[in-house]
Amino acid sequence: MKILGIETSCDETAAAVVEDGTRVLSSVIASSADLHSQTGGVVPEVAAREHLRSILPVVEKALRDAGVDWPQIDAIAVTYTPGLIASLLVGVNTSQALAYLKGKPLIPTHHIAGHIYANFLGRSKEEIQFPLLVLTVSGGHNELILMKGHHDFRLIGQTLDDAAGEAFDKVARLLGLGFPGGPAISRCAEQGNDRAFDFPQAMLGLGHRFDFSFSGLKSAVRRAVEGMEKPLSPAQVSDLSASFQRAVAQALAEKLADAATEHRASSVHLAGGVSANRLLRQMARQSLPDSVSLFFPKEMVYCTDNAAMIAGAAYFDPRPLAGWKGLPASSWADLAAA
Binding site for ligand KG4 (CB under 6 A): 10, 138-140, 165, 168-169, 180-183, 186, 272-274, 276-277, 304-305
Which one, of 103, 59, 110, 106, lies nearest residue 88 by Cα? 110
**Which region, judged by CB under 5 A, interacts with Zn ion, from 17-25, 135-143, 189-197, 307-315?**
135-143
Question: Which lies closer to ligand KG4 via its Cβ, residue 5 or residue 165?
Answer: 165
Binding-residue pattern over the window 178 to 217 for Zn ion, x denoting contact by CB under 5 A: ----------------------------------------
Torsion sign across C-alpha atoms 260, 80, 78, 39: negative
Q: Which of ligand KG4, Zn ion, none is residue 168 near (CB under 5 to 8 Å by kind)?
A: ligand KG4
Question: Which lies closer to Zn ion via its Cβ, residue 175 or residue 252?
Answer: 252
- Mapped onto helix, strand or coil, the DSSP state of residue 293 is strand
**What residues pair up with 217 in beta bridges, in sequence order?**
none
**What residues pair up with 95 in beta bridges, in sequence order?**
none
Position among 19, 169, 305, 334 found at the interface with Zn ion (CB under 5 A) = 305
**What residues pair up with 145 in beta bridges, in sequence order?**
134, 155
Residue 138 in the binding site for Zn ion (CB under 5 A): yes
Residues 21-80 that bind Zn ion (CB under 5 A): none
Question: Which lies closer to Zn ion via its Cβ, residue 63 or residue 280?
Answer: 280
Nearest distance in Å: CB 175, Zn ion? 23
Nearest distance in Å: CB 122, ligand KG4? 18
Residue 143 in the binding site for Zn ion (CB under 5 A): no
Nearest distance in Å: CB 239, Zn ion? 30
Query: Is the separation of the CB atoms in 288 and 260 below 8 Å?
Result: yes
- For 284-295, b/e burial (b = at least 16 CB within 10 A) is beebbeeebbeb
- For 311, how many CA atoms within 13 A lie in the half-sphere containing its CB? 34
Residue 11 in the binding site for Zn ion (CB under 5 A): no
Greatest Cα pair distance in the chain: 64
**What residues pair up with 117 in beta bridges, in sequence order?**
none
**Which region, judged by CB under 5 A, interacts with Zn ion, from 61-69, 223-231, 304-312, 330-338?**
304-312
Given phi > 0 = left and psi -120 to 50 = alpha, else beta, which region is 264? Answer: left
**What residues pair up with 26 in beta bridges, in sequence order?**
17
Question: Which lies closer to ligand KG4 via its Cβ, residue 181 or residue 192?
Answer: 181
What are the phi and psi torsion angles at 31 (to 5°)?
A: -105, 140
Nearest distance in Å: CB 184, ligand KG4? 8
Nearest distance in Å: CB 163, ligand KG4? 7
Instruction: Provide the strand spans (E) within 138-218.
Output: 142-147, 153-158
Question: Which lies closer to Zn ion via its Cβ, residue 249 or residue 271?
Answer: 271
Residues binding Zn ion (CB under 5 A): 138, 305
